[in-house]
Structure 1
Amino acid sequence: MNSTLIYSACALICAALLAYTLTPLVRVLAIKIKAIDVPTDGRRMHHKPIPRIGGLAIFLAFLITSIGFCRLDRELVTILIGGSALVLLGILDDVYRLNAFLKLAVQIVAALFAVSQGVTIDYICFFGKYVAFGNWAIPITVFWIVGLTNAVNFIDGLDGLACGVSAISSISLCLTMLLSDSSVAHCLITALIAAACLGFLPFNANPARIFMGDTGALFLGYALSVLSVVGVFKSDMVLAFFIPLSIFGLPLADTFFAVVRRLAHGKSPFAPDRGHLHHRLIDMGFGQKQSVRILYAVCAILGISAVMLTGQSTRGGALMLVVGLAIFFVTFLILRNPKLRIHSGIYNEDEGVAPPVETFEDVIGEIPSITPEEAAAEAAAEEKELAKAANAAAAEPVKEPTGEEDESETGSDGRQ
């Protein structure tokens, strides 16, 4: 057991370090190929061009560590092949802005590939009773994989939001798989996704230096959906059907309400708007960091509830879910008032009452290897290159909207 823990810890550390090391290289690549997100509308929360395709670092870190530390079983090969296709799709979309229906078609093909490899929701266990889906197993599985893939993409609207939510969801899914006696290999694969996300998060957290784009959002959604099928849906837990719905409750709920809202207004489900949960929090006066922390907390509450339910503590899981969400709801209502928010010690970054943040130099002192003038010159050169890439992207002719542009048009840029 100890050797397994040490082996797993080494794999997780490698995944996090690889993602952290590869991200600056991917950022340089994004600038070179002009994969830049330029703020052009009110949905975007950033005010200067930011490189995209950061999800490539997450994927490469996962690819290398999973091949190096895990057995190449059918499920892992499915994730690697299907995920590679969606990463390529994401890169093309981050650079060229592909048609929404083309992207949906590729996602369906990737989901069908997973089904062909035995990744199907054949039945669910509901309080000890099994409900078989029969011929509906394939469409239900495809709907789940495509739905969760897009849900992760839809929630990618603030710096670090989708990446952090994916990490929290991966950890929750890993714990539920451990408690339900799933394959240790599948648990490690799930944990590697969380580790890769955490390695990328320092560059993606507010203020973001790179967005993961569709490149990362599509891969994470696909990988987590496949793992949830093989590790949770097919288990014999009392509430096996509820566990993944709870773990991924935040992105699924946001996507559900987004689709309903758009259809009610006669729009395409893929038409971008400013009605997501993170947009509502921003419009209520919360800052980006506050909004992300609030949504992290909701995701964590749902994940902990799922873990408790997996441990056969149905009453405890339900109590955790109800009490946690009640506390969140009451706190949310209180913090809507700016004065109460100030009294609580939780400030909006724009209210002018936040304490000053120490700079890197304040913490560790001056760095002798580079002077402030050299650092400023390097920063100015990078800004100039970003502006040049942004101008080149803006100068390209605007395509006629042959299909609705979907949420992923900005990817992990967090501007949806």
Structure 2
Amino acid sequence: MTIETIGIVAAALVAALLISFITTPIVKDLAQKWGAVDVPKDGRRMHDHPIPRMGGLAIFFGFLFSVLIFFPFVPGGGLSRPIQGMLLGAVIIVILGIFDDIYALPALPKLLVQIVAASVAVISGNHIDTISNPNIFSAEPYWELGWLAIPVTIVWIVAVTNAVNLIDGLDGLACGVSTISSMTMLVIALSVAEPNVAVIAATLAGGCIGFLPYNLNPAKIFMGDTGSTFLGYVLGVVSVQGLFKYYTLISFVVPFLMLGLPIFDTCFAFIRRIAHGQSPMHADRSHIHHRLIDMGLNQKQAVAVLYVVSTILGLCAVVLTTISALRAMLLLFALCLAGAVGGLIYFNTRGHRAQEEQTEEKEQGEEEQS
């Protein structure tokens, strides 16, 4: 990677940051004018007063303008067909998010539009053709997906889109985690000389960083579904361009590490809901960030813990692509830490709930005796 290319990547990040930062107050006024306001009406909300949402529109503006400005200067770059497909799909996702933030659309229509947006990106050339075989003992190092490439890629993009959306439950959480994931992707792209992926990751990270001062606790504006689904969509598509295609034995692992926190939380939520006989799309208050709050942490502390977990997983992904001598040790350390945090959250939440049940039973017994 040349100094000139690194300069273009840095300029793209700064430009996206400034555009996002400047346009956020404008988007906030638009959100209030259009009625895109989050009113705390159930126990899942962590705020106690109405807050404008749709702030992801500012992130989108920073991302889009920075890509259009700087992509033509990337060596061998230009708005190729896959990039055009990604941008068109992103526009579809953002329009969907705006309507959802204003009118609170049902889940099924949103899912169908997300599939359409993912299909646009896939038909334009963003698809997973080959992945490494996770069975290291197999004689076949790769899996050729063939006709399965299209449905597998669509499922991946839609899954990541919704994974980021589902962790958007605390001030600054989804935006910060997306920043960490984007920076992880940026470092990996620079290390393997993929300037196109580097510019996209830099613009996404810049847009998030510019919005973050308004979104940290206490938040002045939420990104809403406009932002969370947009971030998830772009991360999903860019991971197809820059992670599944360019690595050998680690191509199967790196995307899951880079997006580890939202993927883990989504999988855990779906398993939990199905085990309780509920729809996988049923909203609840048992996400990992809710469990941290139930442990007694405040919003800032819970977000900081999840930032640390996401950063460790991101560093592990970077190391797996760069420093072979440390791969196994860092991966083991990250998995152990993630397991320890998960176990701590689980057992403390169980203990907290058991204590609440005992207190309620005791109070009921006292009332019956009186």
Under a length normalisation based on structure 1, what TM-score does the superposition of the two structures give?
0.77
The 8 Å contact of residues 262 and 268 in structure 1, kept in 2 or not, is answered as: yes
Is 1:142 aligned to 2:154, yes or no?
yes
The 8 Å contact of residues 38 and 50 in structure 1, kept in 2 or not, is answered as: yes
- Given candidates 265, 272, 282, the residue that maps to 1:254 is 265
- Given candidates 195, 199, 207, the residue that maps to 2:218 is 207
Is 1:217 aligned to 2:218, yes or no?
no
The 8 Å contact of residues 86 and 120 in structure 2, kept in 1 or not, is answered as: no
The 8 Å contact of residues 31 and 51 in structure 1, kept in 2 or not, is answered as: yes
- CA distance in structure 2 between the partners assigned to 1:181 and 1:284 by the alignment: 43
Runs of 4+ in structure 1 deviating by more than 6 angstroms, as ranges, are 331-337
Deviates further, 235-244 or 324-333: 324-333
- CA distance in structure 2 between the partners assigned to 1:240 and 1:92 by the alignment: 36
Task: State the AA in 1 paired with 2:7.
Answer: I
Unpaired stretches in structure 2, ≥5 consecutive residues: 72-77, 349-370
Under a length normalisation based on structure 2, what TM-score does the superposition of the two structures give?
0.86
Q: What residue in structure 1 maps to residue 105 of structure 2?
A: 98
The 8 Å contact of residues 301 and 320 in structure 1, kept in 2 or not, is answered as: no
Structure 1, residues 64-117: CA drift from partner, whole Å, max 9, x if none?
Answer: 111011121223212211000010000000000111000000001111111111
The 8 Å contact of residues 38 and 51 in structure 2, kept in 1 or not, is answered as: yes
Q: What residue in structure 2 maps to residue 381 of structure 1?
A: none
Structure 1, residues 139-194: CA drift from partner, whole Å, max 9, x if none?
Answer: 11111000000000001010000000000001111222233333x12211111101
Q: What residue in structure 1 maps to residue 80 of structure 2?
A: 73
The 8 Å contact of residues 249 and 299 in structure 1, kept in 2 or not, is answered as: yes
- Given candidates 159, 173, 178, the residue that maps to 2:190 is 178
Q: What residue in structure 2 maps to residue 243 of structure 1?
A: 254
- CA distance in structure 2 between the partners assigned to 1:327 and 1:264 by the alignment: 26
Task: State the AA in 2 paired with 1:69.
Answer: F
Alignment of 1:43-122 (within 5 A): 43-70=44-71, 71-122=78-129
Q: What is the aligned-residue identity percentage?
A: 50
Structure 1, residues 339-391: CA drift from partner, whole Å, max 9, x if none?
Answer: xxxxxxxxxxxxxxxxxxxxxxxxxxxxxxxxxxxxxxxxxxxxxxxxxxxxx
Instruction: Give 1:321 shift.
Output: 2.9
Deviates further, 171-180 or 28-37: 171-180
Q: Structure 1 pair 329/138, CA: closer, same or farther in 2 (3 Å)?
A: closer
Is 1:267 aligned to 2:278, yes or no?
yes
RMSD after superposition: 1.9
- CA distance in structure 1 between the partners assigned to 2:276 and 2:167 by the alignment: 20
- CA distance in structure 1 between the partners assigned to 2:197 and 2:219 by the alignment: 31
Instruction: Give 1:332 shift.
Output: 8.4
Unpaired stretches in structure 1, ≥5 consecutive residues: 338-416
Q: Structure 1 pair 221/334, CA: closer, same or farther in 2 (3 Å)?
A: closer
Is 1:10 aligned to 2:22, yes or no?
no
Structure 1 SS opposite 2:243: helix
Instruction: Give 1:325 shift.
Output: 4.8
Structure 2 SS opposite 1:144: helix
Structure 2 SS opposite 1:203: helix
Q: Structure 1 pair 334/122, CA: closer, same or farther in 2 (3 Å)?
A: closer
Q: What residue in structure 1 maps to residue 299 of structure 2?
A: 288
Q: Structure 1 pair 334/19, CA: closer, same or farther in 2 (3 Å)?
A: same
Higher helix share: 2
Deviates further, 258-267 or 279-288: 258-267
Q: Structure 1 pair 15/129, CA: closer, same or farther in 2 (3 Å)?
A: same
- Given candidates 173, 198, 202, the residue that maps to 1:191 is 202
Q: What residue in structure 1 maps to residue 74 of structure 2?
A: none
Task: State the AA in 2 paired with 1:229.
Answer: V
- CA distance in structure 2 between the partners assigned to 1:84 and 1:257 by the alignment: 30
- Given candidates 167, 172, 194, the residue that maps to 1:155 is 167
Structure 2 SS opposite 1:131: strand
Structure 2 SS opposite 1:40: coil
Q: Structure 1 pair 122/208, CA: closer, same or farther in 2 (3 Å)?
A: same
Q: What residue in structure 2 maps to residue 133 of structure 1?
A: 145
Q: What residue in structure 2 maps to residue 377 of structure 1?
A: none
Structure 1, residues 220-270: CA drift from partner, whole Å, max 9, x if none?
Answer: 111111100011111133211110011001100100011111111111111
